[in-house]
Each structure stands twice: as C-alpha cells, then as structure tokens.
C-alpha cells in the first residue's frame, strides 16, 4: 500500500481533456477577480466584524484583519504559482497530489470540502439573519417582533424555540445550487450583478459612516486583556478557549494582544475566496495568465475595504455595544439612521448571496476532482452533456448543505471553516516548495520570488493562527479527519485510479 504515490501533472492535464469529464472554458480574468471578490466580501464584513470586535479584539479588530491578510497574502502567492502551472480543477488537492503524494492530497481535499461546505452553510445562516432584519425594518416591526416566525427562522431571529429550522437559509441554498448546476457562466452573470451592488453598499458604509465616528470609541484601541464578555456563548468555558492559551496555562480571556490574534483566527474566514478561484482553473479561458491576476487582485481589493469598514464601524459604536449579528445595519440604526440600515440590510442580502453561490461552486469542484481520481466514487465526476457542469456532485453538495444549514445552530460553523482553510494553506505552502525541487522543468508562468522565505512564513503564520482557534474547534476537526481517514482506507486507497490504472474513457 503506497500512501505517497503521486499523480503526475501531465496525467492531471490529460484527465481535464477527457470528453466525458471536461468542463466548459468560459471565465476571463475579470470573471475570476469578481468571483474572488464576490466570496471574500461577505460574511467578514456583514457578520464577523461585529462579533470579532465585541468578543475578542475591540477596535484592534482592524489589526486582526491585517494579520489575517498577511497570512492569506503569503499563501495566495503560493496558490498563484501552483494554479498557473497546473490549471486543473481541485486547487490545493490537485497540487498536493503531484507534489506530496496521495495521503496528503486526500487530507487536503477532505479539508477543503469541509472549508467550502461549512462556508456555504455559515454564510447562508448569515444571509438569513440579514434577510429577517431587512423584512423587519421594511415593515416597521416593533422590537422583539419578527415577520418570519421563530420556528422557521433560527438564523434570522436567533431564537431557540425547541425544534426549529432555518427555512430561509435552506431555500437559498437549494435555489443557488440549482443555478450552479445550470452553468458556471450563467452563475457568473448573477454573481457580477450582485457583486456590483455589494461593492456599492460597502463604499456607502465607509462614506456615510465617517460622519458618525466618535474617536472616543477607538480608546483604548487595544483594550486590556480581560475575561470574555458575559454575553459571549460559553464565556469562560475551557472548550471555547483558544488552544494556545490552554497550552500555555492561561485563563480564558479576550482583548489585549492575544485577543488580536484570536480575532485574526476568527476573521480569517472573511478572506475565504481567493483559494476558491483556484478551484475554477479548468474553466478559465487563459488560466496561466488569468488565475494569478484573479487570486491576487481580489485579495488586495478586499483587504483595503475590510480595514476601512472595521475602522468605521468600531468608530460609530463602542465595541462593547456592537451587536454580534447584522453589525453594519445596526450601527446605523444605533444612530437613528433607519433608512440607511434598510439599504445596508438589502445590500447584505444581495452580497451574501454571492458568497453562498461561490462556496457551493468550490465544494462541488472539489468533490468533482476527487471523484475523477476515484478517491471518491467516479460517478460524482459525471458532467452534464448539455450544461457541462458536474451535476451529480453539485446536486449532492446542495442537498447536504441545505440540511446542515437549516438544522445547525448559528455560530458553531465559522471556526470549522477556518481550521480547514488554514490546514490547506499550510500544506499548499509546503507543496509548492517541494514541487520546485521535484519538477524544476515545469513551465511556471508565475513564479514566487524568494519562495523558501515566503512559503516558510506562510506555514508559520497559518499554523500560529490555527493554534488560536478554540479547543472545541480542534476536537471537531479531529473527528472530521478521523472520518476522512476511515473513508480513505476503506475505499479510496483501493479504488484510486493512480493505483488501479483505470481509464476515464
């Protein structure tokens, strides 16, 4: 049993040209950049900014965004080199298969499925919260009263009434999953329109919010370390404590320098997106040029906007009073600007829609790539004869995500996304360095300057952010890995096409 067997880059490229498993090439550099911005600008601004500021970092959440961006930027350079050299669906999974071997490819692919799947579910719940807020504001509901009944709006109203389901979030996932199956270009047209609206809302928040900033809210910029706020779920719980604090024997705490790092580990979710661009490599018209542009451009644009919004929101409302859901809209409502809050809620509904669409696409492409290698059943790699999309994988991902979205309590999924993403970034940063040594002959349209330093820093920063995630997140992650290893040894290792030599056609 050879767990380190590799799949050659040439074979990956050949598989991408098999008629029954070939995806339609229709995406330009602009499409890819919009695709990245569409998913990066979303939950981070609309749902996580308030939570990270209130629970962990205070006004210094701006520094959390910067730190997370540094980690993402280092990994983004590695992704850009890899995706330009190996423009095949599967992103980091495909890269690792060529550089590190099958067992590492399986781990990273399994992690990325977790990342994209949980991201779609998490953002759909955030969408539901803003959708409920928008309807309440639009109809002038009194405090405590909601248009959508609590029993079918767990995300929208945040109420636990026994057995309940987030029906709005489920319907959103099902609708967008159907659109995704109909075609990537059709999805991109919807994405472009919604991203344009979302960017307008973000700029509106920045410009309009400046007039309501009270500089006193930025003092102290880095609040002194203290016990977590009482309204934080599981405040003081050991399982909710960052792993690093527990390893160092520190009491659970928020704010201070450690709060900035914990905040960075949480808002890292906000930068999910540039790596999803790499999953669409096979559908790009000119991937060797367009993929690096899409990956790096989307990350730069979004980092600037995130920092600006974080400064404005924490300046408008004291971090102690920021609401943990619909933070942007409620910041304007706090100043009596209800009409502005309605506009922001409407923009958030549109904006978060693009994130769900994009993450569903990323999860589907991962399942498709692993199915084509027969690490997952080959049937999952079937491409629709008319739409040229992986409709079997897409349908499965959509149905499973709808169930998780509707039945999982709000707030428990974000860090699962982060730990899956960060672990993938660590392995990609190692793999791109390994491939430089194993395949120096491989054409590289984009090369990272000073790769040993860049890759090493990416590993250190991402690993450190992982250690700042909660103990309960690590426990859930270990369970996910255990399930993945069981599936690999029971099925994948015996059926993988690399081992059996099975042809696609």
At 142-153, the pLDDT tens digits run 766 777 777 776
How far apart are alpha carbons 261 and 183 in whole angstroms? Answer: 40
- Residue 163 gets the label, from left (phi > 0), alpha (psi -120 to 50) or beta, of beta
Residues 6+ apart with CB under 8 A from 66: 303, 307
In contact, 386 and 374? CB cutoff 8 Å:
no
In contact, 462 and 422? CB cutoff 8 Å:
yes
Stretch 118-125: mean pLDDT, rounded? 84
- List the beta bridge partners of residue 251: none
Per-residue pLDDT at 490 exceeds 90 = yes
pLDDT at 375: 93
Say what percent of the chain tops pLDDT 70.
86
**How many residues are there in the chain?**
505
- Most confident by average pLDDT, 366-370, 433-437, 484-488: 484-488
Band of pLDDT at residue 159, cut at 50, 70 and 90: very low
Q: φ and ψ at 155, to 5 degrees?
A: -75, -40
Per-residue pLDDT at 281 exceeds 90 = no
pLDDT at 158: 46
Instruction: Quote the DSSP letter at residue 268.
Output: G
Cβ density class 104-131: b for 16+ within 10 Å, e for less: bbbbbbbbbbbbbbbbbbbbbbbbbbbb
pLDDT at 156: 44
pLDDT at 43: 58
pLDDT at 236: 53
Say what percent of the chain tops pLDDT 90.
15
Band of pLDDT at residue 487, cut at 50, 70 and 90: very high
pLDDT at 20: 65
Cβ neighbours around 4 below 10 Å, total: 10
pLDDT at 301: 85
* 423-450 confidence digits (pLDDT tens): 888 888 888 888 888 888 888 888 888 8
Residues 6+ apart with CB under 8 A from 35: 27, 188, 191, 276, 277, 280, 294, 298, 358
pLDDT at 413: 63
Cβ neighbours around 290 below 10 Å, total: 23
Q: Which of 411, 367, 450 is nearest to 181 (CA)?
A: 367
Band of pLDDT at residue 320, cut at 50, 70 and 90: confident
In contact, 368 and 94? CB cutoff 8 Å:
no
Stretch 375-389: mean pLDDT, rounded? 86
Stretch 453-464: mean pLDDT, rounded? 90
Per-residue pLDDT at 467 exceeds 80 = yes
In contact, 343 and 201? CB cutoff 8 Å:
yes
* 26-56 confidence digits (pLDDT tens): 777 787 787 778 777 765 676 678 888 888 8
- List the beta bridge partners of residue 226: 254
How far apart are alpha carbons 32 and 276 in whole angstroms? Answer: 10
pLDDT at 160: 47
Output the average pLDDT for the chain.
81
Q: Which of 422, 416, 424, 428 is nearest to 478 (CA)?
A: 416
Least-confidence region, from 115-129, 223-237, 239-253, 366-380: 223-237
Dihedral angle, C-alpha 353, 357, 358, 364, nearest 10 °: 160
How far apart are alpha carbons 79 and 296 in whole angstroms? Answer: 9
Least-confidence region, from 2-6, 158-162, 239-243, 352-356: 158-162
How far apart are alpha carbons 499 and 505 in whole angstroms? Answer: 17
Q: Which two tokens stand for residue 488?
A: 């690999």
Stretch 362-368: mean pLDDT, rounded? 88
* 232-251 confidence digits (pLDDT tens): 655 556 777 888 888 888 77
Longest dimension (CA), the chain: 67
How far apart are alpha carbons 33 and 410 in whole angstroms? Answer: 30
In contact, 292 and 79? CB cutoff 8 Å:
no
* 285-303 confidence digits (pLDDT tens): 877 778 788 888 888 888 8
* 174-198 confidence digits (pLDDT tens): 999 988 888 655 556 666 777 788 7
- CA 478 from centre of chain: 19
How far apart are alpha carbons 432 and 69 in whole angstroms? Answer: 20
Q: Which of 63, 71, 96, 484 is nearest to 269 (CA)?
A: 71
Domains delineated in the chain: 9-500 (1.20.1740.10)
Q: Which of 21, 104, 133 is nearest to 385 (CA)?
A: 21
* 389-418 confidence digits (pLDDT tens): 889 999 999 999 999 888 876 556 667 777
Per-residue pLDDT at 485 exceeds 90 = yes
In contact, 64 and 54? CB cutoff 8 Å:
no
Q: Helices 414-438 & 92-99, crossing angle to 10 degrees?
A: 40
């Amino acid at each position: 049993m050879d767990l380190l067997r590799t799949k050659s880059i040439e074979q990956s490229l050949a598989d991408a040209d098999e008629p029954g498993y070939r995806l339609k090439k229709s995406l330009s550099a602009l499409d890819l950049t919009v695709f990245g911005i569409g998913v990066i600008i979303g939950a981070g601004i609309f749902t996580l900014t308030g939570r990270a500021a209130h629970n962990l970092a205070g006004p210094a959440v701006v520094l959390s965004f910067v730190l997370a961006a540094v980690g993402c930027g280092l990994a983004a350079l590695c992704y850009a080199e890899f995706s330009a050299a190996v423009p095949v669906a599967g992103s980091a999974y495909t890269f690792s298969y060529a550089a590190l071997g099958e067992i590492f490819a399986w781990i990273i692919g399994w992690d990325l499925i977790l990342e994209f799947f949980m991201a779609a579910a998490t953002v759909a719940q955030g969408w539901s919260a803003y959708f409920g807020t928008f309807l309440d504001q639009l109809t002038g509901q009194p405090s405590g009263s909601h248009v959508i009944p609590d029993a079918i709006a767990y995300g929208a109203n945040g109420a636990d009434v026994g057995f309940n389901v987030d029906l709005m979030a489920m319907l959103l996932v099902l609708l967008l999953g159907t659109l995704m199956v109909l075609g990537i270009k059709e999805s991109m047209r919807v994405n472009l329109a919604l991203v344009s609206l979302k960017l307008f809302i973000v700029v509106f928040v920045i410009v309009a919010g400046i007039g309501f900033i009270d500089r006193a809210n930025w003092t102290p910029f880095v609040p002194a370390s203290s016990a977590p706020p009482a309204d934080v779920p599981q405040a003081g719980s050991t399982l909710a404590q960052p792993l690093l604090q527990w390893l160092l024997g520190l009491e659970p705490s928020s704010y201070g320098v450690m709060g900035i790092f914990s905040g960075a580990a949480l808002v890292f979710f906000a930068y999910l997106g540039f790596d999803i661009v790499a999953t669409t490599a096979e559908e790009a018209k000119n991937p060797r040029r367009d993929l690096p542009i899409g990956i790096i451009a989307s990350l730069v644009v979004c980092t600037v906007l995130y920092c600006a919004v974080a400064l404005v929101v924490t300046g408008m409302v004291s971090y102690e009073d920021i609401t943990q859901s619909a933070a942007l809209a409620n910041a304007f409502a706090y100043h009596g600007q209800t009409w502005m809050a309605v506009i922001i809620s409407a923009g958030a509904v549109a904006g978060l829609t693009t994130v769900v669409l994009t993450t569903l696409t990323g999860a589907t492409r991962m399942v498709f790539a692993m199915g084509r290698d027969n690490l997952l059943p080959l049937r999952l790699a079937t491409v629709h004869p008319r739409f040229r999309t992986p409709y079997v994988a897409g349908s499965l991902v959509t149905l499973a995500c709808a169930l998780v979205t509707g039945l999982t309590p709000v707030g428990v999924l974000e860090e699962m996304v982060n730990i899956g993403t960060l672990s993938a970034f660590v392995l990609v940063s190692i793999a791109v360095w390994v491939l430089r040594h194993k395949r120096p002959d491989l054409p590289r349209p984009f090369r990272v300057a000073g790769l040993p330093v860049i890759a090493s820093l990416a590993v250190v920063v991402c690993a450190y952010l992982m250690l700042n995630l909660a103990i309960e997140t690590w426990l859930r992650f270990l369970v996910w890995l255990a399930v993945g290893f069981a599936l690999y040894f029971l099925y994948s290792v015996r059926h993988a096409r690399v081992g059996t030599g099975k042809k696609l056609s």
